[in-house]
Structure 1
Amino acid sequence: MNKTYEVKSVPIPKFAKHADIAEGKRLYQSRGCGDCHDVDGSGRTFIEDPALGTLSGANLTSGKGGIITERTDEELAIAIRHGVGKNGRALLFMPSTDFQGMTNEDVGKLIAFLRSLPSVDKPQGDLKAGPLGRFLFLIGEIPVFLSAEVINHETTHLANITPTVSLEYGKYVATTCTGCHGFSLKGGPIQGAPPEWPPAQDISKNGLTHYTESSFIQTVRTGKRPDGSEMKFPMPWKSLGQLTDTELKALWLYLQTI
């Protein structure tokens, strides 16, 4: 946890148009950023467990206690995609494994949205690793605990990607799902989750045999499976429901190849 990482900074495009900021907002919401940083970007404590630890998202606004004015766009991009803070140290429980493949364009729009947020005065919540959290990380059960340790920091990021119903774009969207469903997307216990959380479903082809493309999209959008049952917390269907039709169709296409 005291290790430092060197990550090369790459230029991040700047966006100011309303449409681009709106897209940044959709990315923030659909990728689940608010789960840790709250809907207003001010941060929230999302895990408070003596064994796992107390974990809180940073205040991403310009208010007192916020970090946005103290970071360049390039530094924010490194935090998002590499899980590394301004001081070179790993960010605790930052799920950058979900965002490491995000294009420069998408990161730029996301950051433009963050910079547009109203300021909220809110101090940083507690960030403290518990003994069980440390142990599970050491045996490889929760890589997100220090995602910087498992990310390839030499990766060349795409400048942009065209949203199409294609395997390439579906794979791009699917990285959002790896935090809970695992890098293989075959489900199982959710890394770092309290014991009462249900395991994540297998969303490979075998795990989706009861779905068609249309019922898969309908389920993500409504939180109700084809048999009428409701998806249990912590499945963030309200966030994922803001994925576009193209994103969901491409995601379905890609998941069918696993």
Structure 2
Amino acid sequence: MNIRQALAVSAVAAAAAAGAARAETQLERGAYLVNVVAACGNCHTPFGPQGPDMSRDLGGRLVEKNPAFTAYAPNITPHETDGVGAWTDDQLRKAIREGLRPDGTIIGPPMPIMLYRGLSDADLDAMVAYLRTVPAVEGTTPKSEYNIPLPPSYGPPVSGVTAPAPGPTAEYGAYLAGPVAHCTECHTTFGPQGPMMDTHLGAGGNEWHGPWGVSVSANLTAHEDGLAGYTDAEIDAMIRQGRRPDGEAMAPPMGYGYYARMTDDDAAAIVAFLRTLPPLPDPH
């Protein structure tokens, strides 16, 4: 846990400390989203022997290998040839929110494009502005391979999205847990076409593979199989500290080290949203 918690970025900490004294700038907002709530590095930063290799932050890595696909998160640093340095801001926005690369190809899972389509215009702009400032990293990842069909698109072009008012509310928590942190993708039971949002929202049960072994996403609903027996403080500790009520450390791939810098209000908002999920038993 100490290694993952060490991922917190000093610039984000400084911005959080200064937040009460002055308005957040676009770059500070982008840094907070990329490095904390969205935890982009949790997929895009390669692992070394001791954990995430922050010398190659956002330089890309193998994310998931299963019978359906072998997915690599690409280099998203400003490197001109190996990363996204040659992309325009609009091209980078389209890749993040619409899953469309500049060459017209579609980005596949586990990139949660259907949720990212709900990113607000302001937050998307902030993330793009921040990604332009990170150190360029050399190196590319192989192309992802899919044994499932990818859609021709994820829908029409997106614009004009406004986030709910920030605050420790379930409404804002739904925005953070959905379009920003994509909790509802990993923790919603998968069917043949992906997460079954209409029938299994938050029920979990998905396997994720990595150097740590196999992790199964937890049930986040109000069912007794889920969070019904947990206090708000215990849920907060699991999100931001990666620690169960009995003190046991939780396993990746959940980005505890990133979430450790989440503000109290944002963590409270996510917990408030989770409390609204209809109770569902663990999938079998």
Query: TM-score, normalising length from structure 1?
Result: 0.76
Deviation at 1:18, TM superposition (A): 8.4
Instruction: Specify the code of the residue in structure 1 equivalent to 2:76.
Output: L
Aligned partner (choices 254, 258, 269) of residue 235 of structure 1: 254
Contact 1:222–1:241 (CA under 8 A) maintained in structure 2: yes
CA deviation after TM superposition for structure 1 residue 36, in Å: 2.6
CA distance in 2, matches of 1:53, 1:158: 31
Change (3 A) 1:216 1:248: same
1:8 counterpart residue number: none
Please say which of residues 85-94 and 203-212 is displaced more in the overlay.
85-94
| Equivalent residue letter for 2:105 | R
Shift of 1:52: 5.0
Partners of 2:266 and 2:152 lie apart in 1 by 29
**Amino acid corresponding to residue 126 of structure 2 in structure 1:** K
Q: Is 1:111 matched with 2:128?
A: yes
Hey, what does 1:63 align to over in structure 2? 79
Structure 1 residues 156 and 168, CA gap change in structure 2 (3 angstroms): farther
RMSD: 2.7
Q: TM-score, normalised by structure 2?
A: 0.70
| Whole-angstrom distance in 2 between the partners of 1:86 and 1:180 | 27
User: In 2 relative to 1, CA 155–226 (structure 1 residues): closer, same or farther, beyond 3 Å?
Assistant: same
CA separation in 1, counterparts of 2:138 and 2:98?
27
The structure-2 alpha-carbon separation of the partners of 1:241 and 1:214, relative to structure 1 and needing over 3 Å to count, comes to: same
Deviation at 1:150, TM superposition (A): 7.7
What's the counterpart of residue 28 of structure 2?
22
Is the 8 Å Cα contact of residues 244 and 250 (structure 2) preserved in structure 1?
A: yes
The aligned counterpart of 2:61 is 44
Kindly tell me the number of residue pairs found equivalent between the two proteins. 226
Which residue number corresponds to residue 90 of structure 2?
74
Alignment partner, residue 40 of structure 2: 33
Deviation at 1:160, TM superposition (A): 4.1
Give the letter aligned to residue 206 of structure 2. P
Unaligned runs of 5+ residues in structure 2 are: 1-22, 46-53, 189-196, 278-284
Contact 1:64-1:121 at 8 Å conserved across structures: no
In 2, Cα distance between equivalents of 1:99 and 1:198: 24
Percent identity of paired positions between Structure 1 and Structure 2 = 27
Shift, 1:109, TM fit: 0.9
Structure 1 position 188 matched with structure 2 position 205? yes
- d(CA) in 2 for partners of 1:230 and 1:210? 19
Q: Counterpart of 2:263? A: 244
2:171 matched residue in structure 1: 168
Counterpart of 2:114 in structure 1 is 97
Q: Kindly provide the CA deviation profile for residues 90-128 of structure 1, in whole angstroms up to 9, marking residues without a partner as x.
A: 113332234221111111111111000122222x21114
